Every structure is written in structure tokens, then in C-alpha cells.
Amino acid sequence: MADQKSEVLQGTLDLMVLKTLFAMGPLHGFGIARRIEQVSDGVLDLNEGTVYTALLRLQQQGWIKSEWGTSENNRRARFYSVTRQGTKQLDREAENWERVAGVIEKVLRLERQG
């Protein structure tokens, strides 16, 4: 199944980025994208532009902050980290995801009436 790439569901990328930063600590955009792909066992293939758009959106919301640093390749890179407000949002987003995933699971388990 890992050879079948999946699209990221709308609204889930922010949750995945927040959770990745919360779990891993400060990372640059490329590192975030690669980590999410790695955790997905290759099911997700993230476009860096999509990740950077999410990072900009999360930063504008005040859920992450950034500062310049040096990457493992000795290049200047912007490193992102979760703010206190972002941690609260992560809790809300995760709770909502659990609720929605539960509903989807119930619907998928419906049996044909007949």
C-alpha cells in the first residue's frame, strides 16, 4: 500500500505540522515535510510549497514562530516551533480529528440493510 500515494485531506496538514513540531522540536520546512512523509511510511508525498503555505498560515495565526538558524547542511534556514497558543490549538485540532475519525469509522462499518 505504501506505493500508493495519498492526498493530504484538507485541514489535516496544519494538524500534522503542529504535532510534528510539538513532538520533534524546532525544524525547518524541508525537515517537517520529510518527517511527515517518513511517519506516513511513504503514503503521503508532500509538496514543499504546500508545507511552506501551511507554515505561513500557522505563523499568521500565532500558532508557530520562526527564527533563522543553520541547517545540517550548513545552510541558513528558518526553523519553526510551536507557541503556547499553538499547543492549545493542537489539543483542539487533535480532539476534533478524533471525533471526526470516529464518525467516519462508524459510517464505514455500516452494514447493508436488507
User: Does residue 24 belong to any structural domain of this protein?
Assistant: yes
Residue 83 DSSP class? -
CATH of the domain at 34: 1.10.10.10
Number of domains in the chain: 1
pLDDT score at 68: 97
- Answer for the pair 68, 79: CB distance below 8 angstroms, yes or no: yes
Domain that holds residue 96: 12-108
pLDDT digits (tens, 9 = 90+) for 43-80: 888 888 889 999 999 999 999 999 999 988 899 999 99
pLDDT digits (tens, 9 = 90+) for 6-16: 666 667 899 99
| pTM for the predicted model, two decimal places | 0.86
Residue 33 DSSP SS3: helix
Q: Tell me the three cell numbers of residue 35.
A: 518527517
pLDDT-based confidence at residue 81 (cuts at 50, 70, 90): very high
Q: Tell me the three cell numbers of residue 110.
A: 455500516
pLDDT score at 66: 97
User: Does residue 114 belong to any structural domain of this protein?
Assistant: no
Closest to 5 in 3D by CA, of 55, 30, 41, 54? 41
Strand (E) or helix (H) holding 112: none
